[in-house]
Amino acid sequence: MSNIVSYDERVKNFSWKIAEDELDYKPGQPINIGWYCSDRICQMGKGDKYALLWENAMGVEKKYTYNDLRLTSNTIGHFLRSVGIEAEDRVCIFLERIPELYLSFVGILKIGAIAQPLFSAFGEESLFIRLENAGTKAIITQRKHLGKVRKIVDKLPNLKHIIVVDHDGKKELMDNEVVFSLETATPVEDLKIHPTVAESPSVLHYTSGTTGQPKGVKHVHYSLISQYLTTKWVLDLQDDDIYWCTADPGWVTGTSYGIIGPFSMGVTQCVLEAGFSAEAWYKFIEKYKISMWYSAPTAIRSLMKAGEEIIKKFNLSSLRHLASVGEPLNSEAVIWSERVLGMPFYDTYWQTETGSMILCNYPGMKVKPGSMGKPFPGITAAILDIKTFEPVAQGVVGLIGLKPDWPALMRTYWANEETFKKKFENGWYLPGDRARIDSDGYYWFVGRDDDVINTGGHLVSPFEVESALLEHEAVAESAVVSKPDEINMEVVKAFVTLKPGFEANDDTELLIMNFIRKKLSPLAMPQEIEFIEKLPKTRSGKIMRRILHAQEWGEEIGDTSTLEDD
């Protein structure tokens, strides 16, 4: 049965109590995300239903039912308690996307500890910064990453336990290191669930640190209310869906919508532990008959770059709904997916700090390619003046502002309350992005507050220029920043990667310039196009424009711990 109801109807009758009632939660009672994602689903009679279908690059498969999820998370929770982990202790999950990552996350929350997922490709310095800031007590990792932990453990007095999930017994363990294997551990049928309440801390996610040091974003168990309902209404997950969220749980999408959302709804989800390739992804969709697919603009553009012929090799008829997250989705990608997949990608806007989706395109609502959509019901949003922080008129570019009253909003930055308070002005939470609202109430992204280019007193949206560039047949990806200019203070510069078959030369630049001249105002036109092999990106796929900006302005690049291949 579809979850589709008209957007206006949703807004008119909205209350967060809708989610509370569906989850049988009453304010003041205990609420534990781990229990809701496993035990509750079994109590609903779905214990034999698959929760997780996992496959790696070698074709090895593992399958877990909801009862398996309940038992394995119980077993992990019991083990953590046995080594001294208590409520609100931080437990870092430093694993590849193996099943233990997903199972550990649920087990940590069950005992009231705080899950701290970190991307497994971090080097020891990036790992150290985050473990030190959080005062992490235990880390769950695997042999291939153990060396990184050993290099920094002496500098981390709070780190008491290093838990290795795949030790083969060949190498001697060091102090504080202990082996845990789900294959040999005795399954724990009954685990006393810690009675966490709405404001009990649950997850500590670290932002990528675009300015200054990475910040620990603290979420609470009540965030489940937002995550559950947005999963149901925006991703439109239904009981018989096979769901694939391509995000790594080292990032917030991979936990809010790669663990909590689908598991709390009792939906079957798939995980592919392998690097990107168009053929591998299409094959995965065909094999598991995936029906709902949540991915990122970078991945979608990579699929576009791979061409349309490859799609014809696969049966993708199982797909019924597609959504995108991570950075704004260019209109070209929406139009492409409608043409080649028969349906659009629905863009969703949110961030680590918001914990759940904020501005979205919804099933049943008209998609305007390139738009962020409308506020999720229960979210009060506006576009604010950049100086007064008062709402501005329709069509005027300003800062996105959100009334801080939805369940999944972060509660603070860990050990950094001062920076947390700076995220609020005049009663609004400020995500740090600029946008405008059109006459139909749709939001249109303009850029990060510090990305917007002021050329001769006129504001230029990098996103608008990038979108125009992507419409040219030669352009695979683009990133637009400002560069110094004696007359206008700053002007537009574009960095472009080309599709196969196109050469980086003056003729190609002229063709692209002539093409976008018809689409952009003279002020928004790039003064220069630089062709490069690849754009700098975070490991979660976001283009790091600030690195290109810093290069142009001769500035310090800053934190690059989340940079690909760093």
Query: Within a domain: residue 445?
Result: no
Candidate from 50-59, 202-211, 240-249, 390-399 with smallest mean pLDDT: 202-211
Domain of residue 192 covers: 7-437
Whether residue 173 sits in one domain with residue 101: yes
Number of domains in the chain: 2
- Given a cut of 60, whether residue 27 has pLDDT beyond it is yes
Helix (H) or strand (E) holding 507: helix 506-517
In three-state secondary structure terms, 454 is: strand
Domain boundary among 437, 461, 479: 437
Query: Within a domain: residue 394?
Result: yes
Whether residue 503 sits in one domain with residue 415: no
Q: DSSP string of 472-485?
A: STTEEEEEEEEEEE
Residue 91 pLDDT grade (very low, low, confident, very high; cuts 50, 70, 90):
very high
- Given a cut of 80, whether residue 458 has pLDDT beyond it is no
The amino acid present at 41, given as its one-letter code, is I
Query: Within a domain: residue 559?
Result: no
**Average pLDDT for residues 456-467, to the nearest whole number?**
74
Whether residue 536 sits in one domain with residue 396: no
- Given a cut of 80, whether residue 456 has pLDDT beyond it is no
**Average pLDDT for residues 513-519, to the nearest whole number?**
87
Q: Please report the sign of the dihedral spanned by the C-alpha atoms of residue 365, residue 366, residue 369, residue 370.
A: negative
Task: Burial-class residue 324 by CB neighbours within 10 Å (0-12, 13-18, 19+).
Answer: buried
**Model pLDDT for residues 347-397, shown as the tens digit of each residue:** 999 999 999 999 999 998 999 999 999 999 999 999 999 999 999 999 999
Task: Look at residue 451 in the predicted model and tell me its pLDDT.
Answer: 75
Task: Look at residue 326 in the predicted model and tell me its pLDDT.
Answer: 84
- Given a cut of 90, whether residue 217 has pLDDT beyond it is yes
Task: Look at residue 387 in the predicted model and tell me its pLDDT.
Answer: 93
- Given a cut of 90, whether residue 559 has pLDDT beyond it is no
Task: Look at residue 370 in the predicted model and tell me its pLDDT.
Answer: 92
Task: Using alpha carbons, select from 490, 526, 373 the residue that is nearest to residue 435.
Answer: 373
Residue 212 pLDDT grade (very low, low, confident, very high; cuts 50, 70, 90):
low
Q: Which residue has the higher pLDDT, 448 or 340?
A: 340
Q: Which residue has the tokens 């094959």?
A: 283
**Average pLDDT for residues 42-46, to the nearest whole number?**
98
Whether residue 510 sits in one domain with residue 476: yes
Domain boundary among 437, 463, 478: 437
Q: Is there a contact between 127 and 149 (Cβ–Cβ < 8 Å)? A: yes
Q: What is the pTM of this model?
A: 0.85
**Average pLDDT for residues 474-479, to the nearest whole number?**
94
Q: DSSP string of 28-95?
A: TS---HHHHTTHHHIIIIITTSEEEEEEETT--EEEEEHHHHHHHHHHHHHHHHHTT--TT-EEEEE-
Task: Look at residue 560 in the predicted model and tell me its pLDDT.
Answer: 66
Task: Look at residue 2 in the predicted model and tell me its pLDDT.
Answer: 61
Q: Which residue has the tokens 């609202």?
A: 437
Whether residue 517 sits in one domain with residue 407: no
CATH of the domain at 543: 3.30.300.30
